Amino acid sequence: MQHIIHKTFSPDLLKLPLAKYGGRQTVTALPGDGIGPEMINHVQNIFEIAQVPIDFETIKLDSQQTSDNNDLQNAIISIERNGVGIKGNIETKFTDSSVVSRNVALRVQLDLFANVLRCVSLPNVKCKYQNLDVILVRENTEGEYSGIEHETVPGVVESLKIVTRRNIDRIARFAFELAVKYDRKKVTAVHKANIM
């Protein structure tokens, strides 16, 4: 269980042969914008100092939409080829209601349907809750995270929460299979209406 820190899962990415050369793994790096490039730079420095056998393929993808979206397609091709990617912050600038978030586009096109986050309290670190060890699984492509919004009249925006039975079944099955795999005794379903 130690290897699950934070990841987004897509079964399709597991079907491709991974880009490995000479025992090294190639990882797609998407620095993004804002604090993203600084964060990715620190990760790359740490990996270099620790001599982690990883080569980064850096793809420029940020909040600036291009007319042909080639940068987004290049990022997706790279992630599919390498089987793994690390993404910095990619801001969403809603200056035009037709603009689709690049984050949403990546999640939907790569079918990154499950966002997994493990929260663990560490021994000898003072915190409010001791012996905490929970895994959060969030559906990542529908509902509040689909980014389906429109302006009905100037100044009034509607956000639609559309979910399908197929994807609800898929995320529930994923969560239960994860619970069984890691010997968890309980699965709790919650909503996240506060982001609407």
Q: Tokens 């956000």 label which residue?
A: 159
Query: What pLDDT does 5 receive?
Result: 43
Band (100; pLDDT cuts 50, 70, 90): confident
Amino acid identity, position 58: T
What is the per-residue pLDDT for 70? 87
Q: Give pLDDT, residue 97.
A: 60
Average pLDDT (129-137) is 91
Evaluate whether 76 touches 109 at the Cβ level (below 8 Å).
yes
**Higher per-residue pLDDT: 46 or 191:** 46
Helices marked H in the chain: 36-49, 70-82, 102-109, 165-181
More confidently predicted of 190 and 145: 190
Domain ranges of the chain: 6-185
Gap between the Cα atoms of 196 and 192, Å rounded: 8
Distance, in Å, from the CA atom of 105 to the CA atom of 141, rounded to the nearest integer, reads 9
Q: Which residue has the higher pLDDT, 2 or 125?
A: 125
CB atoms within 10 A of CB 107: 21
What are the b/e assignments for 143-174, b being 16+ CB within 10 Å? bbbbbeeeeeeeeeeeeeeeeeeebeebbeeb
The percentage of residues in the chain with a pLDDT greater than 90, rounded to a whole number, is 51
In this model, does residue 12 exceed pLDDT 60?
A: no
Of 111, 173, 117, 116, nearest to 142 (Cα)?
A: 111
Query: Domain 6-185 falls in which CATH fold?
Result: Isopropylmalate Dehydrogenase (3.40.718)
Mean residue pLDDT of the chain comes to: 84
String of DSSP letters for 102-153: HHHHHHHHTT--EEEEEEEPPTTS--SSSS-EEEEEEE-SSGGGG--EEEEE
Q: Which residues pair with 115 in a beta bridge?
A: 8, 138
Q: What one-letter code names the amino acid at 174?
A: F
**Percentage of the chain lying above the pLDDT 70 cut:** 82
Band of pLDDT at residue 103, cut at 50, 70 and 90? confident
- For 55-68, what is the mean pLDDT? 83
Taking residues 46-52, what's their average pLDDT? 94
In this predicted model, what pLDDT tens digit does every residue of 154-166 receive, in sequence order? Answer: 988 888 888 899 9
Please report the pLDDT score of residue 13 as a whole number.
47
pLDDT score of 39:
95
| Listed residue (18, 36, 164) closest to 91, CA to CA | 36
